[in-house]
Amino acid sequence: DGGITQSPKYLFRKEGQNVTLSCEQNLNHDAMYWYRQDPGQGLRLIYYSQIVNDFQKGDIAEGYSVSREKKESFPLTVTSAQKNPTAFYLCASSIRTGAQGDTQYFGPGTRLTVL
């Protein structure tokens, strides 16, 4: 089956710990994205990557880091520097980022709770 997978589904972390969220896609998409969703806030862009070994900061990148070593994978690390990390994290991918925009397809999300 083609699609985007995120793991784990639920994640609990103690304050001060770094944690890495996984995102994998087998759609052969070039572009991948990480969003954060808080209640009543819609989706906010954390980081995105249009090609392997390159990525850009989104609107709320502070306290997060990413890597894009393979086309299929775009892991997100939530560091201890992120002040309020409890949220629902969504990964998305699209064929490319063209002039009109390409439809982004989303994974099922990871709910992170900091205890």
The interface with other proteins within residues 45-84 (CB under 8 A) comprises 45, 48, 50, 56, 58
Measured distance CA(44)–CA(39) in Å, rounded: 12
Instruction: Please identify, among the stretches 17-25, 69-77, 79-87, 107-115, the one whose residues bind other proteins according to the rule CB under 8 A.
Output: 107-115
Short-list 106, 88, 86, 64, CA closest to 9? 88
Instruction: Please identify, among the stretches 11-19, 68-76, 78-86, 97-105, the one whose residues bind other proteins according to the rule CB under 8 A.
Output: 97-105
Q: Which is nearer to other proteins, 15 or 54 (CB)?
A: 54
Kindly determine how many residues on this chain lie close enough to bind other proteins according to the rule CB under 8 A. Answer: 25
The interface with other proteins within residues 25-44 (CB under 8 A) comprises 33, 35, 40-44
Q: Which is nearer to other proteins, 48 or 82 (CB)?
A: 48
Tokens of 99: 């002039």
40: which residues sit within 8 A by CB, 6+ positions away? none
Count of CA atoms in the C-beta half-sphere (13 A) of 12: 1
